[in-house]
Amino acid sequence: MVSLHPLIDSGLIKGNPDHAGGTLYCKCASDPVEVTLTSNVAQNHACGCSKCWKPAGALFSVVAVIPKDNLSVTANESKLQVVDPKATIQRHACTECGTHLYGRIEVDHAFKGLDFVHTELSPQEGWQEPQFAAFVSSIIEQGFDPSKIGEVREKFHAIGLETYDCLSPALMDLLATYTAKKTGAL
């Protein structure tokens, strides 16, 4: 079996619910971009979509959200550039090493105000552990053998993560509620 992600291949390490935050760094050997997070993250999960940054050899990213006001770029911000200006999530990546430091939604959206981050880029321990796996079947669209998707789901289940082909039910309910309120249905 190929690597799902280095943070989860050997099982989950429980995070500290009182974790106070820390710093994220890009992969540059010198003058790395530094992002400071002033709280723990939420909704940490493995993501199989084709847009999220993944470490080399991994099928999934591990990504979480944090309130926008709890994130600041504290070093080498000039090295950041938005990967795809047309995407809903504006992923800010280092122009030298390609590492995605954070993603921000600037358009009207249920998740506006939350930034997407990869806590594996932090030397600090204690971040919330992954809670679920999202967009699992999306790895097939990226060339993964569909006859082996069952093995991927089994591996996630074996380490205690539920698998979804969208977001978790709670997040999907949040998106549906947001839409219903915007359209006046609620």
- Please identify every residue annotated as catalytic: 47, 49, 52
* Token code pair at residue 179: 């839409």
* Token code pair at residue 21: 């935050």
Q: How many CB atoms lie within 10 A of CB 37?
A: 25
CA dist., res. 93 & res. 76, Å (int): 12
CA dist., res. 77 & res. 58, Å (int): 27
CA dist., res. 1 & res. 20, Å (int): 35
